[in-house]
Every structure is written in structure tokens, then in C-alpha cells.
Amino acid sequence: MYIALYDENIKHITNVDNATYDLTQRVYDNDSYTADGVSDVDVNDAKIAVTNDDAGNYKYACFADTVTPDKNKRTIKGADFKTLFDTEILLDYTAEGSFDGRLSAIYNKVAAAVFGGVDATVGKIPVEVIIPNDDTDTTPTYGSLQGTYQITNAYKFLKCYLKYYEYNIDTRFDIVAGKIVFTFVKCSRRLSIGLSDFIHELTTTSAATNKAVATLKYDVETPETDADGNIIYTDVQATDDNGQPAYNDDGTPRYVPKYKPRPDTLATRYYYRDKDNNIVQSDAVGNIEGRLYPVKTKIFESEYLADAQFTAVYELANSRYVDNIIIDNNKTIDPIDFA
């Protein structure tokens, strides 16, 4: 096993030989990678680390975050390529007809915002993003963003869609082309694995929130009006910033308007997490199979319903329980190769 190190210009620096590595790959969060090996070259400018077997077959690649020397020993700490998405972007849907709610259109919009700008350094190492066509309409779940703009972390924004629609982002480094390749992959394949086949440790975590409500933010100072649209006032005189009685320009007392109570007809969406860890949209009654009890609710409001919907679904996506299965590949009982 050896690790080939490249600088940011994709120039080969050296190989770290007799290497061993520890890799934890995660579906949505960043992978963890550390490696040790031997090299007599001082490495100060490594940017890419490519792990290969003894025959030169590609195994894994990531950023070389640090390369620490100890005599001829080199310890490499990696950083997942997906960290390139961990940056703030502006998604502008203010132009008429600019919002496209198809899932692949949203993925493409984010990718273009991250990698398609004028900042030359962003493209220092070329990046290719492969997104399959997916016409799934996201607006029933997340609403329309038409007429809004979003300043957001690109990966945080993406992750909500990735989790709900069951996509993940595969990463690799194309050595010949000298570029990082991201592929959006729909998780459609199902494998049945019996834990009894393994020596394992199993822990289960479960977050409390199992119901999320998205609704419009209401301005409590919305004045009541009569049938002709005239504001209705109370008999309470308004005060100025100094707490003194306020008057109109003509010298008459200015009164406090009568405010409308919050209507129960405001647009609202309801989302639930069921016993099978699914996120289900329903109505206020929530009469769906597998509802979790006791009910733990979080309510999200925004001036735009789509923003509240996004936050509500993201909350439930992050509240899904996680089965942490630790499998030691060195154990004798290991019938499946996860490589």
C-alpha cells in the first residue's frame, strides 16, 4: 500500500510507502482519514492524497490536510473532498420565473453557485459535478423559493434535500484528468444484512422531535379594517418615543389601531417522523400509520412558507434515530466485503 501526494497544481510530490490507513466513510457527514507510512521527502505543500494498493489500484483520495514528519515516518490527516461544499453561497430566485423546483435543478443551482463563479482560486483544482436528471417536484415538501434569495451554507442547504430524497455524494480523484469528481447518487439499492453474521456493537440514538410544523410568520401589529378597508382604531391614545401622548399633524390625538388576531387560516404544513424512520407530510390531525408517541413538536415560522418548510424537514431529518454498528474487519466472522 502506498499514498501518492500531489500539490495544488496536481504535480506529483512523492509516494509514502508501506502505508496503513484508517478510513471512516459517512453518507452525509465528512469522511475521516488518517494514514502512516515511510518517506524521506520533506512534504510542505501536499494538497491531494491518493491511496493505492501495491498494484497501483486506486482505493481512496482526499485532501491532505496535514503531513506530519517523524524522522522517516509520515503521518497524514485527510479532509473529505465534500468540504468544498462547506461554503456560503447566494441562491437568487428573485427574477420572474427563475425558480425550478425539480430536484436535479436545485442540485445544479447549488453546484453552479459553488463552482461556477468568477473566483479563479475556487477552480484551482478542477472539479466535475455529475448530477443525474431527476424531475421529482420538491415544492410539495419544501415549497417554492420563487421571489426569494437565500444566503446559506451550500452543504447545509443540500443536505436537507439529500437526506429526504435519499441521495448521497460520491467523491473520487481522476488522476489522469487531474480533477475532483462529485457524483450525486440516488440510493435505490437495498441490501439485507443480518447482524447475527457479525461480531458487532450496536448502539441506538433517538432525538426527541418527531413532529415539525411550518407556518407563516404573522405580524401582530396588522391593523383591523372595516368593510371599506379603513383602519379601525381603539380609544387608546398612542404615545411617542418619550412616552408622551402622540398627535397627528393636524393636532388631533393619534389613537392605537385595533389589531387583527392571528388567523387560523395561515398557510401551514405538518411533517411527522414515524416508527420506520420515515418523514411523512400530512395534515394537522396526523392520522398516519406508525406515529411516534409521546409527541414532541417543534414549530418553525418565516415570512416565506418555503423557508419554514425547509427548516422543519431539516429538523426531522437530523432527528432520525441512528443505529451505530461497529464491525471489526479483523474479526473471523466477516462474510461481506464492504470495500
Residues 47 and 117 in one domain: no
**Domain hosting residue 17, numbered range:** 2-79
Q: Are 311 and 298 in contact (CB under 8 A)?
A: no
- Given a cut of 70, whether residue 202 has pLDDT beyond it is no
Residues 41 and 117 in one domain: no
In-domain check, residue 225: no
- Given a cut of 60, whether residue 262 has pLDDT beyond it is yes
Q: What is the pLDDT of residues 160-186, one digit of tens each?
A: 899 889 999 999 999 999 999 999 999
Q: Are 155 and 129 in contact (CB under 8 A)?
A: no
In-domain check, residue 229: no
Residues 95 and 48 in one domain: no
- CA-CA distances (angstroms) from residue 66 to 8, 18, 46, 78, 82? 14, 18, 8, 7, 17
The residue whose grid cell reads 502506498 is 2
In-domain check, residue 272: yes
More confident residue, 174 or 207: 174
Residues 69 and 93 in one domain: no
Q: How many domains does the chain have?
A: 3
Which of 79, 113, 140 finishes a domain? 79
Which of 79, 110, 144 finishes a domain? 79
- Given a cut of 60, whether residue 334 has pLDDT beyond it is no
Looking at the chain, the number of H-run helices and the number of E-run strands are 4, 19
pLDDT at 332: 47
Residues 97 and 74 in one domain: no
pLDDT at 123: 86
Residues 59 and 145 in one domain: no
- Given a cut of 70, whether residue 141 has pLDDT beyond it is yes
Average pLDDT, the chain: 87
Residues 178 and 112 in one domain: yes
Residue 166 CA to residue 278 CA, distance in Å, equals: 11
Residues 213 and 316 in one domain: yes
Residue 328 CA to residue 324 CA, distance in Å, equals: 13
Residues 18 and 99 in one domain: no
In-domain check, residue 199: no
pLDDT at 200: 56
In-domain check, residue 299: yes
Residues 211 and 312 in one domain: yes
In-domain check, residue 56: yes
- Given a cut of 90, whether residue 205 has pLDDT beyond it is no
Residue 293 CA to residue 309 CA, distance in Å, equals: 23
Q: What is the pLDDT of residues 63-118, one digit of tens each?
A: 999 999 999 999 999 999 999 998 889 899 988 889 999 999 999 999 999 999 88
Tell me the CATH number at 213: 3.30.1920
- Given a cut of 90, whether residue 208 has pLDDT beyond it is no
Which of 21, 50, 79 finishes a domain? 79
Residue 121 confidence class, pLDDT cut points 50, 70, 90: confident
Range of weakest confidence among 155-164, 256-265, 288-297, 325-334: 325-334
Residues 212 and 314 in one domain: yes
Residues 102 and 175 in one domain: yes
Q: Is the pTM of this model over 0.85?
A: no
Q: What is the pLDDT of residues 232-246, one digit of tens each?
A: 999 999 999 898 999
In-domain check, residue 256: no
In-domain check, residue 305: yes
